[in-house]
Amino acid sequence: MRIKRTLQAAGLIAAAVMMGLLTVQGTYALWSATAVAAPGSVSSASFTVNLTATPSGQVTTMTLLDGRPANLALTPDAALLPGMSVYAGVVVTNSTDAGGTFNTVATAGQPAMANLSGGALSQYLSVSGKAAASAADCSAASGYAPLGASGLATPAVPKSGSTVICFQVTLSSSAPSTVKGQAVAITLPLTVRQLCGVPGGC
């Protein structure tokens, strides 16, 4: 008897739920329509900067495929004599595929010199730099300024444009003969950064 009543109650509840669901569902039965838009994909540009060394002729991208910064050897080939200078340069090319404005500026930082084979040549060397329009301008002695902590920044380089950073290494005329035949490794950090293209500032 108790089971029968339970079954009856369950049946009533189920019927009530069904009726309720049907009643609520009825309110959704109005017209509706849908339109679909596909805006597509937004892709970011590459930040590709190509470097060409003068006089070594070495060519590389500034960032290697594995993400590490490239090392570029300039290797000026002229012998350095007291009171004289040797010259080298780097052609920096903005090779981005950006869709809009993408100006860059290249900056050469303060040089670090290391004597090779226990020499003492570095203390008699000075490094200067200048920005130029072509690598051929590097061998012209005019326009060079010592590279300090603030480094040397180039003018803005637009897409597909290039600039040249020239370096001048001068051996002091007071260099003793004991440094003859010695060599120095000079390291110059080179940085390229995007210039702000937002009208209101970045």
Partner 1 sequence: MKNSTLIKGTAAIAVGAALLLGGGGTLAAWNAEANQAPGTIVAGDLNVVNATTAGVWKDRNNATIDITTYKVVPGDKLTYTQDLTVTLVGNKMAADISTTGITATNGFSSANVAVSAPALTVAGAAVANPLKPTGSAQTVTATITFEFLSGTAGRSDVTASYNFNNIAFQLTQVTQSGLS
Residues that bind partner 1 (CB under 8 A): 27, 30-47, 63, 67, 96-100, 102, 194, 196-199, 202
Measured at the alpha carbon of residue 64, what is the angle toward residues 61 and 66, in degrees to the nearest 5?
160
Closest CA to 91 of 74, 75, 103: 74
Tell the smallest beta-carbon distance from residue 27 to partner 1 (Å).
7
Tell the smallest beta-carbon distance from residue 68 to partner 1 (Å).
12
Tell the smallest beta-carbon distance from residue 194 to partner 1 (Å).
6
Tell the smallest beta-carbon distance from residue 165 to partner 1 (Å).
20
Sorted by sequence, the CB contacts under 8 Å of residue 175 that are 6+ apart come out as: 82, 121, 124
Tell the smallest beta-carbon distance from residue 50 to partner 1 (Å).
15
Sorted by sequence, the CB contacts under 8 Å of residue 197 that are 6+ apart come out as: 100, 101, 102, 103
Q: Which is nearer to partner 1, 115 or 191 (CB)?
A: 191
Tell the smallest beta-carbon distance from residue 93 to partner 1 (Å).
17
Residue that has been written with the tokens 């004597």 in this structure = 115
Residue 120, both tokens: 């003492």
Q: Which is nearer to partner 1, 133 or 195 (CB)?
A: 195
Question: Hey, CA dihedral for 56, 59, 64, 69, is it positive or negative?
Answer: positive
Which of 3-22 are b and which e, b meaning 16 or more Cβ less than 10 Å from the residue's Cβ?
Answer: eeeeeeeeeeeeeeeeeeee
Cα–Cα distance list, 48 to 92, 93, 98, 134, 152 (Å)? 10, 8, 10, 20, 21
